[in-house]
Each structure stands twice: as structure tokens, then as C-alpha cells.
Structure 1
Amino acid sequence: MSKKVINQNTNYDSELLNSIESNFIFDENPINRLKNTAKDLKKENDVNQIDKEKELNELKLQINSINDCGLKDNSKKIVLGDGNINSPIMLVGEAPGVEEDNIGLTFLGDVGDLLRKMLMAINIKKENIYSTYAVNFRPPEDRKPTSTEIKRYSHFLQKQVSIIKPKIIILMGSSAMESLTGLNSKISIERGKWKEVIVKNTTYNVIITFNPSYILRVPENKKHSWEDLKKIKQKIVDLKLNI
């Protein structure tokens, strides 16, 4: 004959349960455990925005403080860059022209009009991307920057890339190509090919294409630019980027 084991806590547990009110309220709506996420994300984005603006301003001061630069000495204004600093797309041109030098913004005049049309062909507004140049001052008589000038300013371009942190970089023209990739071959050979460029331990998707100013001079190459634009559009889709 075995003895029944008695749980001496049974009476206590029963009394405790009976003492707890049972008027619970049930709601079919799920508990929103992420109700602060949107607010926190906005706060984080605001902080990133301020940090980027601060770093870009500091970079602008660095570029403006360089000495013995013929480009700077013969220019009216520095053209650092403009557009959406949080954009996943960064566009790099060759150098400012007359209008850009006067106003301090990128891709103005006929060149800017053509660029806007090119971007709109793949449903992108220029103001929704970030654009800059391989060199930040206008070369005299709008000549092509020399390799020495490109190399000198490439250091600043790399810093700018590290600040913007784009998912795609579009290099328009041979100066932009040389500045970020180090390539000095013919752009007709390198254009339209996706490359990976490492800047400060981060890998970036890069594509090389013709500069709009070149297309204005040689309009028969529009077809090649269109081919490149379609590849850019496909990459945007593949990476699921929101622009």
C-alpha cells in the first residue's frame, strides 16, 4: 500500500488564485510592440542627416583651404555637390562649367537639361540623387582636367563617397572614371560595365558612361548612353532601391 503524496501548497495556491480578480479585458487587436519604431527610425535618420551635412561642410572647408591650385585660383566658386545626400545613387561628372562656376551647383544649362531628360527616361528626378564632380573647380576655358588635377581631387571625392554611402555610383566621363577607378583607358571601352570599387574598406557598385556634354557634341552616341541607362535601371530593380 502506497501513501498519497500531498502537495502542501495546494490550499495556498487555490486561495491565491481565488483572490485574483478575473475581470480581464481581451482585445482582438494585436499588441503593437513596435509602436516606437517609426519614431525611432525618424530620429535616427535625422541624426544621420545632420552628421552627413556636418561632414560635407567640413569637406568643403578642406577643399577650399588647399593652396597652389590653378583650378581654384581661376574659379569663382567651389562646386561640392547637391541633391539628396541620403540617395542610394551618386552621380559624378567631370568638372564644373561656366554656369556651375557662377552659381555653385552641378549640371546646369544645356548639359543639365540633357541630364534631366536622361534620368527621367528611367523615372529618376535629378533632385532625388546626389551629384558632384571629379574636380570641384572649373578648369580654365572648360578644358579637360589633367591627370595631376584629377589625382589631387580624387582624395576629396573618395571622402565624399564615404559620407554619402550610395548603393550605385554613376561615373560620367573619363575624368570621373579616372578619379574613382584609376583607369585612364578609353571610356568607349569601359562604359556600360558594372565594376566594384573599394573606398575606405567599403565596396561600391560603379558604372561608367558618357558625360552629357559629350553627348551634346557627339549626339550619335546617345544610343550607347541609353543602353547604359537601361542597365542602371535594372540594377536599381535588382537592388530594390527606392528613389
Structure 2
Amino acid sequence: MSLMDLENLRQKALACRGCSLRQGARQVVFGEGNPRAGLMLVGEGPGAQEDELGRPFVGPAGELLDRILVAAGFKREELYITNVVKCRPPGNRQPLPAEVQACRPILEAQIKLIKPKIIVCLGAIATRTLIAPGASITRLRGQWIARDGIRYLPTFHPAALLRDAAKKRPVWEDFKSLRDVYRALQAEQLSLEFEQ
């Protein structure tokens, strides 16, 4: 993957007017992190602070996500974080299906360029976009789903944890599972490189 390809895609996202979200947003929140990450986190869409700073997951939900990542042994710099839609929906409402469809090619191109081994779907919108249109996050949460060489792990969005503390324990279990699977994949990769 060339960094130029990712930068070209970012420029394409900045110029996008595929839906009405861009009109009300201050800026496009493309995503950030390691462009060669084995682990990608996909949320729903930018909130007010993300829209202001142009970075994903920097508001209260992002701060909680950072704490979860650190507790599970991850550094934010080693992974890639983005959202299904790149512009803030008004009033932090959920993105509409047409808005998701307008942004979907950019998300799919990000996945294709970064080539993560694991994608964590943070919340229902990411789960429905990447796994199955009618998926229930409550039903699929914590289940590993393999597709096209990528392992998907749906879990609750950090914002849901801020509204309902009872969801914290299941998410922590999901991130412990994520840590174990991610470490096993890394060990497998190192073993393959050593054998060559």
C-alpha cells in the first residue's frame, strides 16, 4: 500500500458532496492511524468534537475508547480508526441509509488500502454496514465473523457505554478476546516471516 494512495483517497473524501452531511459539517473526518495496521476500528460518524478537530474519537466516547485500548494493551498509534460516514450528522443523529451508501465506497477503499486482518465494528451502524444490513448489535456483539480474509468483531459503541454502564463488562470481554486473537495473528505472522 502506498501512502500516496491513502492521501489520494483522503483528498477524494474532502471533495465529496455525495450527500447533504458535508453542508452542515465543519470538516471531513477521514480517519487516522497506522496505514499498515493489522487492526482497524470503525465507528458510526463524527461527533461535535471530532468535527471541530478533524480527528475520529476525540470526544467523551473517544476518551473512553482510549482507556479501553490501553487497558487491553493496545496503542492508538498501532491501529487505524475511522467511521462509516466521514461528516458529522446534524445533532449527532445516526447516519441515514443514503448517507451511509454515499460514504461506503470511501470506507471500502480504506479497508482495501490498509488491509487490516481484524476490523472491530463499534456499534450497530458499523456492524450493519460491514457485516449484514439487518444485523442486531445486541445479538452479534462479541461474535467473531470471518469474511474475505478479514476477521470482524462487532461490539457496542463507546457512546453506548456512556449511556448504559451495564454494557462496559461485555465490551471489556470483547476487547480481551480481541487482544488474544490479535496477538495470535501477530505471532503467526512472525513465525511465517522467520521461516522464509
Q: Check conservation: 2:42, 2:126, Cα contact below 8 A.
A: yes
Aligned equivalent of 1:117: 67
Does 2:126 align with 1:180?
Answer: no
Task: Kindly provide the amino acid, as one letter, of the partner of residue 207 in structure 1.
Answer: L
The structure whose RCO (Cα within 8 Å, separation 6+) is larger is 2
Show the counterpart of 1:166: 116
Question: 1:209: Cα distance to partner?
Answer: 0.5
Task: Work out which of the residue numbers 31, 39, 48 in structure 2 matches 1:81.
Answer: 31
1:27-38 map, 5 Å: none
Specify the alignment match of 1:129 in structure 2.
79
3-state SS in 1 of match to 2:28: coil
Q: Quick one: distance in 2 between partners of 1:213 and 1:172? A: 9
**Counterpart residue type for residue 182 of structure 1:** A
1:97 aligns with 2:51: no
Shift of 1:185: 2.5
Q: Is the 8 A contact 1:150 1:178 kept in 2?
A: no
Calculate the aligned-residue CA RMSD, in Å.
Answer: 1.5
Q: Match for residue 220 of structure 1?
A: 166
Provide the C-alpha distance between the structure 2 equivalents of 1:190 and 1:151, rounded to a whole number of angstroms.
22
The answer for the alignment partner of 1:13 in structure 2 is none
Match of 2:99 in 1: 149
Deviations 1:77-103 (A, max 9, x none): 101111111221111011000011011
Q: How many pairs are equivalent?
A: 188
Q: Secondary structure at the match of 2:186?
A: coil
1:205 aligns with 2:155: no
* Long gaps (5+) in structure 2: 190-196
More helix by share: 2
Q: Which runs of 5+ in 1 are unaligned?
A: 1-47
SS at match of 1:150: helix
Q: 1: CA distance between counterparts of 2:94 and 2:145?
A: 24
Q: 1: distance between equivalents of 2:113 and 2:64?
A: 27
Once residues 139 and 163 of structure 2 are traced to their aligned partners in structure 1, the CA distance between those partners, rounded to angstroms, is 19
Which residue number corresponds to residue 193 of structure 2?
none
Query: Counterpart amino acid of 2:164?
Result: V
TM-score for the superposition, normalised by structure 2:
0.90
Is contact 1:154–1:180 with CA below 8 Å preserved after alignment? no
Q: 8 Å contact 1:75–1:101 — kept in the other structure?
A: yes
Offset of 1:68 from its aligned partner?
A: 5.2
Residues 198-240 of structure 1: CA deviation (Å, up to 9, x unaligned): 3xxxx21111001101110111111110111111011012212
Q: Which residue of 2 aligns with 1:8?
A: none
4+ residue runs of structure 1 moved beyond 6 angstroms? none
